[in-house]
Amino acid sequence: MSPTSKENLVNALNKALAWELRAIAMYAHYSAYVSGIHRLHLSNHFNNEVNESVMHASTVRSAIVKLDGIAITKRDKTEIVHTSNFKEMLSEAFDTEKKAAETYGEILPLVEEIGDTELFDALEVVYFDEQRSVEELRMMLKD
């Protein structure tokens, strides 16, 4: 594997890791603040998203370690919008999941390039999780 393709991949993985770290903070915040009748199920749902993001971050971090890269520890700078309104939360979540799906979509061809099938499989699972979330949120935002 060439040093540049490895470096590009580590950079792309760090971008994904930053989004996962932001997702952890955002979903934990929304789980605590969601109000109204929808709190009953959404608080739990957001909490599950926290756990999923922790697992995704762990997968990505392991990939970076495997590639001898240095994993970042700071979340993506995109503002986490404070609200207690569930519709606003879902719309912020929708944007976040679309961004995540896009980021993993960019990573997969780079992993293919270096020919690591184990890494490809692990990251493809994460990519599918994000795709599923995008579709789920699209349905949740529908009237």
Distance in Å, CB of 132 to Fe ion, minimum: 9
Rounded CA-CA distance 117/92 in Å is 33
Distance in Å, CB of 33 to Fe ion, minimum: 19
Distance in Å, CB of 3 to Fe ion, minimum: 28
Q: Which two tokens stand for residue 26?
A: 């955002």
Give the residue nearest to Fe ion (CB). Answer: 56
36 vs 102, beta carbon nearer Fe ion? 102
* 3 half-sphere exposure, CB direction, 13 A CA radius: 0
5 vs 128, beta carbon nearer Fe ion? 128
Q: Which two tokens stand for residue 12?
A: 């792309």
Q: Are 115 and 31 in contact (CB under 8 A)?
A: no
Residue ranges binding Fe ion (CB under 5 A):
53, 56, 97, 100, 130, 133
1 vs 135, beta carbon nearer Fe ion? 135
Rounded CA-CA distance 91/141 in Å is 7
Q: Which two tokens stand for residue 46?
A: 């957001």
Distance in Å, CB of 61 to Fe ion, minimum: 12
